[in-house]
Amino acid sequence: MLHGWRITTINGLLLALYFVPAWTNAALKIVVFPIRGIYAPANIGPALFVNDTFHLATLGTVRFAWLLALVKFVVVACLLLFTAQTVPGKNGKHDGGDEVLTLALLFGSIVSVASMAAAAAVAEAAALRLHATESLLLLGGLVLLVVESQNYGAGCSEASAYRCVKKPMSASLNA
């Protein structure tokens, strides 16, 4: 039924299924009303931390809100691009998009862990639980991607490992 589907691909699609609508909604709230959107439950931790730490004026808060929305839109765009590259093409393969998934997981993990730390610093319990859950999802996907990418190209046995590695190099040197 799922022949040729890697666990990383399935995990990436499930992560996209959650993060695309959730982070798009949070970022669009910031786009429509920056001050109201930054104090939405999904963004309250970083907003309170930045305002309490740096004593920002309204314009500074709006700039931070736009920066947070931009980063969330980048993660959403990477996840959408991964989803589009995963759809099987004419050759029937659906293993593309690992690089884009890596970028999405890396940027998303950084934002989510920073938001979790900010929510913990301002003692916002609901935001802390939300960002801790998102951090675990993203970091788990990143670990899974790293572990599986180490084993993905392991089609050579130990006896022929030297030939598998050296053959492409010697072919490119002779050309």
Mean pLDDT of 61-78: 96
Q: Which is more confidently placed, 92 or 107?
A: 107
Q: How many domains does the chain have?
A: 1
pLDDT at residue 172 tops 60? no
Rounded Cα–Cα distance for residues 69 and 62 (Å): 10
Q: Is residue 1 part of a domain?
A: no
Q: Is residue 90 part of a domain?
A: yes
The pTM score is 0.81
pLDDT at residue 151 tops 90? no
Q: Is residue 99 part of a domain?
A: yes
Domain with 95 in it: 7-174
Residue pLDDT, tens place only, 133-143:
999 999 999 99
Q: Is residue 2 part of a domain?
A: no
Residue pLDDT, tens place only, 76-89:
999 999 999 888 76
